[in-house]
């Protein structure tokens, strides 16, 4: 599976560690966003680059990182068709897949430690969408996008 990972400067160090983790597991990883942890890089630009890669089919899933995860998750969720969840623990990352069919996991590099971050990444890739009643709700999100955000 192809994955895109993007961050601002605050998420740069964690991004590189997550990238290495995913590559060890055999994923093909596209890196977007900040190229260092010291030069300021907008989470807006980082989120936009990730969103475009997923929507254009260059990557199937995304991991979005900024200091809190808040800014970049807001940016990604502004793109029609993307469901990005800001998660702080493994349970949330698992539910993002199982209940919400999220394609993008967001996290805060100043919020979670490396162990929690990698556990979330693993849960996000291991878990499947449960469908059924959850599919009805995800479809309602899609309808909302059609009705309100034309």
Residues making contact with ligand RB5 (CB under 6 A):
8, 10, 43, 66-68, 70-71
9, 84, 87, 99: the active-site residue = 99
User: Minimum CB separation from ligand RB5 for residue 39, in Å?
Assistant: 12
User: Minimum CB separation from ligand RB5 for residue 1, in Å?
Assistant: 27
Q: Can you tell me the distance from the alpha carbon of 149 to that of 53, in angstroms, rounded to the nearest whole number?
A: 21
For ligand RB5, the closer CB: 8 or 101: 8
And the tokens for 3? 């994955």
Angle at 130 between CA 70 and CA 132, to 5 degrees: 115
Does the active-site annotation cover 9?
no
Listed residue (33, 26, 28) closest to 11, CA to CA:
33
For ligand RB5, the closer CB: 31 or 70: 70
9, 66, 84, 87: the active-site residue = 66
43-55 and 70-77 helices cross at what angle (nearest 10)? 40
The alpha carbons of the chain give a radius of gyration, in whole angstroms, of 14
Does the active-site annotation cover 99?
yes
Position of minimal CB gap to ligand RB5: 71
Q: Can you tell me the distance from the alpha carbon of 124 to that of 106, in angstroms, rounded to the nearest whole number?
A: 11
User: Minimum CB separation from ligand RB5 for residue 40, in Å?
Assistant: 8
Kindly list the catalytic residues.
66, 99
């Amino acid at each position: 599976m192809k994955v895109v990972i993007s961050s601002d400067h605050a998420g740069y160090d964690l991004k590189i560690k997550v990238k290495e983790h995913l590559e060890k597991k055999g994923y093909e990883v596209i890196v977007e966003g900040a190229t260092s942890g010291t030069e300021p890089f907008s989470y807006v630009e980082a989120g936009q680059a990730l969103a475009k890669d997923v929507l254009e089919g260059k990557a199937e899933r995304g991991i979005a990182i900024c200091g809190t995860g808040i800014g970049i998750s807001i940016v990604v969720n502004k793109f029609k068709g993307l469901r990005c969840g800001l998660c702080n623990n493994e349970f949330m990352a698992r539910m993002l897949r199982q209940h919400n069919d999220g394609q993008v996991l967001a996290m805060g590099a100043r919020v979670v430690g490396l162990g929690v971050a990698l556990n979330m990444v693993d849960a996000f890739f291991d878990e499947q969408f449960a469908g059924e009643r959850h599919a009805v709700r995800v479809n309602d999100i899609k309808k909302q996008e059609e009705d309100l955000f034309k």
